[in-house]
């Protein structure tokens, strides 16, 4: 039996215990994790300091090193997050709906945990605590595979979690780490369908592709987006500029950040100079195409300009770059989004009732906005209290995944001897 099979089997076993725990017991484990994080601060920071030193020696960028870094303040934040998850309502055990059949059978769809959740994620140690606490809260066992750059930090954090689990009478195998940088283990992990019920890859395009190609476990993908704002003919210019600025600039490296602005051709000549000036003030480089390029190429109003290339409207920028294109109206905007979006977040700025409805009906991204920033597509912003990922697939969950999305349901049918005629 391979090491991963042993891990998987133990997780499945633990998931059966977790599934029938009451909320008080699960919350006690979460509070114990918070306390243990504080008690073991020195141990965790020492492990993290080694990761950081190795990363610096390997020449990792300062921004990446900052993402790897833990300090007393960040660790205190993680403990606070664990305590906050304990305060959230537990979705497990609630009834989605119920009915009594004509033969008297009482039928209820009852929420239950997914079982064993596998997560593959980038090099951010805080994700280890996030995923572990959200899975525990919903009665799921978790198998984690974090980035190799934070292996020592993750080992220290999972030790803390497992100590807290044991102290509250739960199996330490409820949260396990694949504690090896061996990449071959990722491929094996993806095929552990006998023990793992769902796989959540949190990473870039190539990890998603690998999961689609290789995984035998059902996968929830997300976290990648080509996001659009369409500025309709009737748009309030100031509102449009604010929404574009916020969507593009507030945090350009995330998946709900803006990539392409579509502008109604009838207002393009008026609007684009305003847009160029606002973007110039924010150091955003513009990539206009067609008519937009013609309107800006001789006067960029201070903005850095480059004519849009053939792949630019299929690029998630993750940077201060913005594609611009004019369209003949809402219908062409919808079609452009259908053809280029990755189903993440798209917004229309308009004052026209009919166009707003056409946009909302035609764009089937995980979140569709009217007169609001794409940056709102987020579990915290949407009031879910927590977020395990932002899904852009069609099955199971779309958009921000909170606690409910870490559950499934079973049909419970209570009878008194019913048989089928």
- What lies within 8 Å, CB to CB, of 129 at 6+ separation is 33, 37, 78, 81, 82, 157, 161
418 belongs to the binding site for its own copies (CB under 8 A): yes
242 belongs to the binding site for its own copies (CB under 8 A): yes
Nearer to its own copies, 141 or 164 (CB): 141
CA dist 156 and 51 (Å) reads 11
- Out of 95, 105, 269, 281, the only residue in the binding site for its own copies (CB under 8 A) is 105
CA dist 30 and 84 (Å) reads 9
219 belongs to the binding site for its own copies (CB under 8 A): yes
The two tokens of residue 104 are: 């008297």
The CA-based angle 272-275-277, given to 5 degrees, is 110
224 belongs to the binding site for its own copies (CB under 8 A): no
The span of 44-52, 68-76, 282-290, 393-401 binding its own copies (CB under 8 A) equals 393-401
- Are the beta carbons of 264 and 233 closer than 8 angstroms? yes
- Out of 30, 82, 243, 389, the only residue in the binding site for its own copies (CB under 8 A) is 243
- Are the beta carbons of 15 and 140 closer than 8 angstroms? yes
- Half-sphere exposure (Cβ direction) of 280: Cα atoms closer than 13 Å: 14
- Out of 169, 181, 218, 309, the only residue in the binding site for its own copies (CB under 8 A) is 218
- Half-sphere exposure (Cβ direction) of 115: Cα atoms closer than 13 Å: 16
CA dist 134 and 129 (Å) reads 8
Across-strand partners of 348? Answer: 230, 370
- For the bound state, the minimum distance from the C-beta of residue 197 to its own copies, rounded and expressed in Å, comes to 5
- For the bound state, the minimum distance from the C-beta of residue 418 to its own copies, rounded and expressed in Å, comes to 4
Binding mask 335-364 for its own copies (x = CB under 8 A): ---x-----------------x---xxx-x
CA gyration radius, the chain: 24
95 belongs to the binding site for its own copies (CB under 8 A): no
- For the bound state, the minimum distance from the C-beta of residue 139 to its own copies, rounded and expressed in Å, comes to 10
Nearer to its own copies, 39 or 239 (CB): 239
The CA-based angle 30-399-201, given to 5 degrees, is 65
CA dist 193 and 183 (Å) reads 18
186 belongs to the binding site for its own copies (CB under 8 A): no
- For the bound state, the minimum distance from the C-beta of residue 271 to its own copies, rounded and expressed in Å, comes to 16
The span of 54-62, 265-273, 305-313, 381-389 binding its own copies (CB under 8 A) equals 381-389
Nearer to its own copies, 53 or 414 (CB): 414
226 belongs to the binding site for its own copies (CB under 8 A): no
DSSP classification of residue 7:
H
Determine the 3-state secondary structure of 86 from DSSP.
helix
216 belongs to the binding site for its own copies (CB under 8 A): yes
Site residues (vs its own copies, CB under 8 A): 16, 19-20, 99, 101, 105, 107, 112, 114-115, 193, 197-198, 212-213, 216, 218-220, 236, 239, 242-243, 245-247, 250, 338, 356, 360-362, 364-373, 375-377, 381-383, 393-396, 398-400, 408-420
């Amino acid at each position: 039996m391979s090491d991963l099979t042993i891990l998987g089997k133990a997780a499945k076993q633990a998931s059966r215990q977790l599934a029938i725990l009451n909320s008080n017991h699960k919350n006690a484990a979460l509070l114990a994790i918070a306390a243990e994080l504080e008690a073991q601060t020195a141990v965790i920071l020492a492990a993290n300091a080694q990761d950081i030193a190795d990363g610096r020696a390997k020449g990792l960028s300062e921004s990446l090193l900052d993402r790897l870094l833990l300090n007393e303040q960040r660790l205190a934040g993680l403990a606070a997050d664990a305590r906050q998850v304990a305060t959230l309502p537990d979705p497990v055990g609630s009834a989605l709906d119920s009915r009594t059949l004509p033969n008297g059978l009482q039928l209820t769809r009852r929420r239950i945990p997914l079982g064993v959740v596998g997560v593959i994620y980038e090099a951010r140690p805080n994700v280890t605590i996030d995923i572990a606490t959200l899975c525990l809260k919903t009665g799921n066992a978790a198998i984690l595979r974090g980035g190799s750059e934070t292996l020592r930090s993750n080992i220290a954090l999972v030790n803390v979690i497992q100590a807290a689990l044991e102290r509250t009478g739960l199996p330490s195998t409820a949260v396990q780490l694949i504690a090896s940088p061996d990449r071959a283990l990722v491929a094996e992990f993806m095929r552990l369908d006998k023990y793992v019920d769902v796989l959540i890859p949190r990473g870039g395009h190539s990890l998603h592709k690998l999961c689609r190609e290789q995984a035998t476990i059902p996968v929830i993908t997300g976290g990648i987006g080509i996001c659009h704002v369409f500025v309709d003919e009737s748009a309030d210019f100031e509102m449009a500029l604010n929404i574009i600025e916020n969507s593009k600039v507030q945090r350009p490296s995330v998946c709900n950040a803006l990539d392409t602005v579509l502008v109604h051709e009838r207002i393009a000549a008026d609007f684009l100079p305003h847009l160029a000036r606002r973007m110039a003030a924010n150091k955003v480089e513009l990539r206009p195409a067609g008519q937009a390029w013609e309107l800006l190429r001789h006067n960029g109003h201070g903005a850095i300009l480059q004519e849009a290339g053939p792949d630019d409207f299929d690029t998630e920028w993750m940077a201060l770059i913005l594609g611009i294109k004019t369209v003949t109206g809402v219908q062409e905007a919808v079609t452009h989004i259908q053809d280029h979006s990755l189903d993440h977040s798209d917004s229309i700025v308009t004052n026209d009732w009919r166009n707003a409805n056409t946009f909302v009906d035609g764009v089937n991204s995980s979140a569709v906005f009217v007169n609001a920033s794409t940056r709102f597509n987020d579990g915290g912003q949407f009031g879910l209290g927590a977020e395990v990922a932002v899904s852009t697939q069609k099955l199971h969950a779309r958009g921000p995944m909170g606690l409910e999305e870490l559950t499934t349901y079973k049909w419970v049918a209570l009878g008194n001897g019913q048989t089928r005629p």
